[in-house]
Amino acid sequence: MTVDLQAYPGPLGETVASLPLVDHHVHGALRASVDRPTFESMISEGPKAPSAGTQFDSQIGFAIRRWCAPLLDLDPHASADDYWERRCALGEDEVNRRLLRAAGTANYLIETGYLGDAVLTPAEHAEVAAADAREVVRLETVAEGLLQRVASGRAFVADYPSVLAEATRSAVGTKSIIAYRAGFDVDPGRPSDDDVAAAAERLLRSLGDEIRLDDPVLLRYLLWCGVDRGLPLQLHSGYGDPDLDLHRANPLLLMPWLRQVESTAVPVMLLHNYPYHREAGYLAQMFDNVYFDIGLGLNYAGSQSPQLIAESLEVAPFTKQLYSSDAWGPSELHFLGSLLWRRGMSRIVGMWVRDGDWSRGDAERVLRLVGHQNAERVYRL
Amino acid sequence: MTVDLQAYPGPLGETVASLPLVDHHVHGALRASVDRPTFESMISEGPKAPSAGTQFDSQIGFAIRRWCAPLLDLDPHASADDYWERRCALGEDEVNRRLLRAAGTANYLIETGYLGDAVLTPAEHAEVAAADAREVVRLETVAEGLLQRVASGRAFVADYPSVLAEATRSAVGTKSIIAYRAGFDVDPGRPSDDDVAAAAERLLRSLGDEIRLDDPVLLRYLLWCGVDRGLPLQLHSGYGDPDLDLHRANPLLLMPWLRQVESTAVPVMLLHNYPYHREAGYLAQMFDNVYFDIGLGLNYAGSQSPQLIAESLEVAPFTKQLYSSDAWGPSELHFLGSLLWRRGMSRIVGMWVRDGDWSRGDAERVLRLVGHQNAERVYRL
Amino acid sequence: MTVDLQAYPGPLGETVASLPLVDHHVHGALRASVDRPTFESMISEGPKAPSAGTQFDSQIGFAIRRWCAPLLDLDPHASADDYWERRCALGEDEVNRRLLRAAGTANYLIETGYLGDAVLTPAEHAEVAAADAREVVRLETVAEGLLQRVASGRAFVADYPSVLAEATRSAVGTKSIIAYRAGFDVDPGRPSDDDVAAAAERLLRSLGDEIRLDDPVLLRYLLWCGVDRGLPLQLHSGYGDPDLDLHRANPLLLMPWLRQVESTAVPVMLLHNYPYHREAGYLAQMFDNVYFDIGLGLNYAGSQSPQLIAESLEVAPFTKQLYSSDAWGPSELHFLGSLLWRRGMSRIVGMWVRDGDWSRGDAERVLRLVGHQNAERVYRL
């Protein structure tokens, strides 16, 4: 990793720069180059590139031009056109190699359930990044695969737990996207096998070529199977998908479910959370098994990300927050997640050290906890 | 315009001071002087002056005394009593002339539907301000006028579109206040003509001297007629009226309606939004035709407005945010909207330039986009 | 009080340090020493100490080690173990004496309804703190006591108002916890005596040894009896209890009730509010009789509390905000509430003075209003 100390001013700069991060929720880097409209759609959560202007006119676009350009041998703040031209000239393999290695991420916990063909596998990603990678399995993807094969709803209910066990044999965690398929304001209870079988049966009869699992009963069943599996269970929460009704992905709506799950001690990992990151921190204080991150939001907020970092350091214990980029595709996202987190932490926590609120030793310990130790402990890495 | 560079410290001071703003959502300045309790009620969204103390003991009151007092030949921070005495001595015309010209707003898009007799018409306002002015027409005001004249609910349905077309012949936009008449948690669909006619009929039968259009079916009908009209459609959102249940004016509740409207490409302009400005920025990233501002909140937050500005510069593309004061009445509000926006942008964006996150050229471009170019493009000025 | 000017940098340091605060919502200090797991559970709103790590690894833990340690003769940032050892050696009486006197709080308005046996009475607390103390009475505690004695639901309805009058004879306010027993999204109206009697009858028949009053009809009855009593009525709002569904304690949900209560002019005091403090400030602008504080959240946010203070100084008039610690038990909480409020105000408001937004005189006046004068006026101290 090239340590760019200029990026991390203040008393914690060196510590911040050398942290071997665990990116506990991330996807693979792009397998092959894409055209510019596709690239622009990948640096937004909107469904497509804007009809007017360019997606580079955003915080994330400015951050790419500021921080990624020098790694592609351009000046900081190179124009979007120059950046794009240079990126194409280097090719995806070289761009990935440069940006992923500059990220300084030691371990990627890669969720493989979203458009997996377009991105590198965990093993490929690890090699390009010169890092470790472990897998996180999306509950819905396993279920959609099984639905392609079973003959009846009842068979689905019977088979899903063992199929999930098999699919997660070497995984370190599972993930649910119930937030954007149904919302968190669902019945928190475990559905009956009969209800699940009936819902699966309905879905099987209506199947076209593509399966989209969005029945709340089925989604709740998967969630509880995830709890039974016992691995840390990641939940998409808040910002991050055009499908969702954002206010129904407010993690507070999970409280009735969290009260039922707490006794299992299965770690519940609330992902992203923006703009509900304060709410996520509150849940992390209230529930012994709840953890959270502010990934994704940091990338999109760019130069404004330090405030989000500050807001994530309010009421949650420091043992309950993790680092994540939630990058998918362009390796700019993997790199910026790391850079902006390091830069924001060095600014915010460095200010507290300078003002005498925190000791330097405490600050460095918190950087290690959030940067990698909490993830290592919870995921048993 | 008197450029007060002291108000805009930092590397962007001169650029900020000279921007010819387009105030895309605003009302006319006061036509005549009012008494002090009335004035105090006008610098709050509360329905009347406070029973204890003075409304000057607030951020907006402090901002008036700090920034408007020198324009009335007083020292900065003049007392409220001195300010009031001097204001009365100068008279409304002179106060308007001084404050509106100091605002440096080049073009006012004036919404004329609220208590229009008490304030200047767009033409009068433009003359006093030495600026341009265009009109934005409130959908509900046109409907209330028509309801005074039609004989039946069915006639209302039949006539409204053409009456609206006539009323907006020279307008640049329309506006809906469905947020505080019904809330955003309504059925998003276009109501049937039969349902609208029945609702209008009910209203016609219950009419007293004053019409208050608050039937959700009628409000939805107007909203869809606004979409049909094709002009940028402003929606009051979040903060700004004692009538509303604030949590029901959360713009996220519009998502089902926005999904239906997106294909029309009619620009949807989310106004104010405080304290849901992060949510509005999210919608502006997700939907190609959604724009937003943080007017009104800036005035009321005074010295704390830079944080609101920073929060408005998170996830939305810079092509999707506009400047607005939402001033109504006292020209202090028109002036402060401009001053606080310029001052906050110079502080926040200037800090990003100084810290190397943004280039100066990019920063100046964003100032122009939000300050006037986005409005000029969307409203075709 | 030992004035630690180092804690309050900037132009307002001396003024901030010497303010005789009124802590308008607080509970007594611990009566006797507890073991460490119990202590750790008391510096969190979670129901118990964490299963991994220590509750000292949090903002509040860091703040205790930074600011309380020197008052116990330790270095700033002393380790948690050293702090705990020293605290045990000094004993609760001495810890209370040192920390409460260092708080510089002149008057504690003590709510006595929660686990009263474990903490000092108002008179005892006042003596140890060398301060004044007055009582605030929890409506539900009075009702639960009465339910132990009455023979019928009808008797409960008949007797509660006079029992409340007696219980509040020397009190300065009442308090409702309807937020975490039922949520604010209840019918706002005053329930009929028949409905209340029936609900009380049901509760009486189901009584075990412990009474837990959580019937919405009964809670609403108490709330309206609180209004009738006429004293300032405190309402738990937002953050602060593991029982509650946080999103149902959003104070905006009170708007229908507030519209009914405003004409009584009974002061409604919204407590804590985090993360809905902006919403509380909005209500304080909209309703003449609504006041708010940001207690509790400041303690838990530690070094990040200045941002919360800044956010509390947005749209509400300065005559409508009060100081509170919401401390219960460990006197660290009483002390830190005061220290962090003073430190945050000196930083935020001091910055506005330095930047020329506010005059020093105005700033000092706001410090006095929020620090004690608003409480003195509203509670008639």
> pLDDT tens-digit profile of B220-239?
999 999 999 999 999 999 99
B282/A239 touch (CB, cutoff 8 Å), yes or no: yes
Alpha carbon of residue C260 to chain centroid: 25
Alpha carbon of residue B205 to chain centroid: 33
Closest approach of B111 to chain A, Cα-based (Å): 26
Determine the pLDDT at residue C23: 98
A300/B285 touch (CB, cutoff 8 Å), yes or no: yes
Q: Is C339 on the interface with A (CB under 8 A)?
A: no
Owner of token pair 């209500």? C283
Closest approach of A39 to chain C, Cα-based (Å): 36
Alpha-carbon distances, residue A205 vs A151, A191, A209, A222 (angstroms): 10, 21, 12, 20
With a pLDDT cut of 70, the percent of chain C lying above it is 98
Separation of alpha carbons C155 and A99, rounded Å: 75
Separation of alpha carbons C54 and C59, rounded Å: 12
**pLDDT of B54-72, one tens digit each?**
999 999 999 999 999 999 9
Instruction: Specify whether the CB–CB gap between A244 and A210 falls below 8 A.
Output: no
Crossing angle between the packed helical segments B139-147 and B153-167, to the nearest 10 degrees:
130
Instruction: Specify whether the CB–CB gap between C334 and C100 falls below 8 A.
Output: yes
| Chain C interface mutation, best of B62, B185, B237, B296, highest count of C Cβ atoms under 10 Å | B62
How is chain C split into domains, by residue range? 7-32+103-379, 34-90
B57/C319 touch (CB, cutoff 8 Å), yes or no: yes
B282/A246 touch (CB, cutoff 8 Å), yes or no: yes
Closest approach of A331 to chain B, Cα-based (Å): 19
Residue C268 bridge partners (DSSP): C233, C290
> Number of helices (H) and strands (E), helices first, in chain B?
18, 7
Determine the pLDDT at residue C258: 96
- What is the pLDDT confidence band of residue C5, given thresholds at 50, 70 and 90? low
In sequence order, the 6+-apart residues with CB closer than 8 A to the CB of A370 are A318, A321, A322, A323, A345
Determine the pLDDT at residue A1: 44
- Taking CA–CA distances from B278, the nearest residue in chain A reads A275
CA dihedral B210, B214, B217, B221 (to 10 degrees): 70
Closest approach of B60 to chain C, Cα-based (Å): 8
Instruction: Specify whether the CB–CB gap between A187 and A256 falls below 8 A.
Output: no
Give the B window 214-243 contacts with C, CB below 8 Å. 239, 242
Q: Could you tell me whether strands B173-176 and C132-138 are parallel, antiparallel, or unpaired per DSSP bridges?
A: unpaired
- Taking CA–CA distances from A66, the nearest residue in chain B reads B357
Separation of alpha carbons A258 and A59, rounded Å: 34
**A159, A108, A115: which is closest to A129 by C-alpha?**
A108
Determine the pLDDT at residue B1: 44
CB < 8 Å to C274, chain A: 278, 315
In sequence order, the 6+-apart residues with CB closer than 8 A to the CB of C7 are C17, C67, C339, C342, C343
C358/B62 touch (CB, cutoff 8 Å), yes or no: yes
Closest approach of C323 to chain B, Cα-based (Å): 17
**pLDDT of C47-103, one tens digit each?**
777 788 899 999 999 999 999 999 999 999 999 999 999 999 999 999 999 999 999
Q: Is B276 on the interface with C (CB under 8 A)?
A: no
Closest approach of A289 to chain B, Cα-based (Å): 28
CB < 8 Å to B300, chain C: 285, 314-315
CB < 8 Å to B361, chain A: 77
- What is the pLDDT confidence band of residue C134, given thresholds at 50, 70 and 90? very high
- Taking CA–CA distances from C242, the nearest residue in chain A reads A286
DSSP-assigned letter for residue B98: H
Owner of token pair 């998502």? B255
**pLDDT of B200-214, one tens digit each?**
999 999 867 678 899
In 10 A of CB B162, how many CB atoms? 10
Two structure tokens written together for B46: 């509360």
Would you call the peptide bond into A37 cis, given omega within 30 degrees of 0 as the criterion? no
Beta strands in chain C (DSSP E): 21-26, 105-111, 132-138, 173-176, 233-237, 268-272, 290-293, 321-322
Determine the pLDDT at residue A4: 62
CB < 8 Å to A288, chain C: 46, 48, 50-51
In 10 A of CB C203, how many CB atoms? 21
SS3 sequence of B166-183: HHCCCCCEEEECHHHHCC
| Chain B interface mutation, best of C248, C264, C314, C380, highest count of B Cβ atoms under 10 Å | C314
Mean pLDDT by 10 residues, chain A (381 residues): 70 95 98 96 85 92 98 98 98 98 98 90 98 98 95 97 98 96 93 97 83 93 98 95 87 96 97 97 96 96 98 97 97 98 98 97 98 98 96
Owner of token pair 């761009």? A95
B91 — alpha (psi -120 to 50), left (phi > 0) or beta? Answer: left
CB < 8 Å to A352, chain C: 303
Determine the pLDDT at residue B52: 81
Separation of alpha carbons A191 and A197, rounded Å: 10
Alpha-carbon distances, residue A277 vs A269, A303, A321 (angstroms): 13, 18, 11
- Taking CA–CA distances from B250, the nearest residue in chain A reads A247
**A221, A54, A225: which is closest to A137 by C-alpha?**
A225
**Within 13 Å of residue B373, how many CA atoms lie on the same side as its CB?**
11
Q: What is chain C's Cα-based Rg?
A: 21
B245/C255 touch (CB, cutoff 8 Å), yes or no: yes
C356/B63 touch (CB, cutoff 8 Å), yes or no: no
Q: Is A63 on the interface with B (CB under 8 A)?
A: yes
Instruction: Specify whether the CB–CB gap between B118 and B329 falls below 8 A.
Output: yes
Query: Number of A:C CB contacts under 8 A?
Result: 89
Alpha-carbon distances, residue C264 vs C57, C175, C232 (angstroms): 46, 17, 11
Determine the pLDDT at residue C1: 44
Q: Is C362 on the interface with B (CB under 8 A)?
A: yes
CB < 8 Å to A313, chain C: 59, 304
Instruction: Specify whether the CB–CB gap between B371 and B293 falls below 8 A.
Output: no
Instruction: Specify whether the CB–CB gap between C175 and C235 falls below 8 A.
Output: yes
Instruction: Specify whether the CB–CB gap between B142 and B150 falls below 8 A.
Output: no
Separation of alpha carbons C234 and C226, rounded Å: 9
Q: Is B266 on the interface with A (CB under 8 A)?
A: no
Instruction: Specify whether the CB–CB gap between B197 and B156 falls below 8 A.
Output: yes
| Chain A interface mutation, best of C6, C55, C62, C65, highest count of A Cβ atoms under 10 Å | C62
- Whether residue C4 is predicted with pLDDT greater than 70 in this model: the reply is no
Give the B window 84-113 contacts with C, CB below 8 Å. none
Residue A246 has its nearest CB partner, among B279, B307, B359, at B279
A317/C6 touch (CB, cutoff 8 Å), yes or no: no
The angle formed by the CA atoms of residues B207, B213 and B217, to the nearest 5 degrees, is 115
- Taking CA–CA distances from B275, the nearest residue in chain C reads C278
Residue B300 has its nearest CB partner, among C307, C315, C355, at C315
The phi, psi pair for A161, rounded to 5°, reads -60, -45
Query: Number of B:C CB contacts under 8 A?
Result: 90
Report, as an integer, the average pLDDT of B88-98: 98
The phi, psi pair for C287, rounded to 5°, reads -115, 125
**pLDDT of B301-339, one tens digit each?**
999 999 999 999 999 999 999 999 999 999 999 999 999
B285/A62 touch (CB, cutoff 8 Å), yes or no: no
- Taking CA–CA distances from A287, the nearest residue in chain C reads C46
Alpha-carbon distances, residue A257 vs A260, A279, A321, B298 (angstroms): 5, 15, 20, 39
**pLDDT of B151-189, one tens digit each?**
999 999 999 999 999 999 999 999 999 998 999 998 999
**B6, B10, B8, B19: which is closest to B351 by C-alpha?**
B10
The phi, psi pair for A271, rounded to 5°, reads -95, 140
Give B16-46 as a DSSP string.
Answer: HHH--EEEEEE-PBBSS---HHHHHHHTSSS
Span between the terminal Cα atoms of chain C, in Å: 22
CB < 8 Å to A45, chain B: 285-286, 315
Owner of token pair 């399995």? A137
Separation of alpha carbons A130 and A119, rounded Å: 17
Separation of alpha carbons A222 and A200, rounded Å: 12
Element (H, E) at A230: none
Residue A285 has its nearest CB partner, among C46, C76, C307, at C46
Report, as an integer, the average pLDDT of C311-329: 97
Separation of alpha carbons B205 and C205, rounded Å: 51
Q: Is A59 on the interface with B (CB under 8 A)?
A: yes
Positive or negative CA dihedral for B84, B90, B96, B97? negative
- Taking CA–CA distances from C299, the nearest residue in chain A reads A315
Instruction: Specify whether the CB–CB gap between B290 and B258 falls below 8 A.
Output: yes
Range ranked top by mean pLDDT from A49-63, A197-211, B241-255, C153-167: C153-167
Q: Is A377 on the interface with C (CB under 8 A)?
A: yes
Tabulate helix, strand, coil % of chain B (nearest 5): 55, 10, 35
Determine the pLDDT at residue A210: 76
Closest approach of C268 to chain B, Cα-based (Å): 15
Q: Is A310 on the interface with C (CB under 8 A)?
A: yes
DSSP-assigned letter for residue A371: I
**Can you name the CATH fold of B7-32+103-379?**
TIM Barrel (3.20.20)
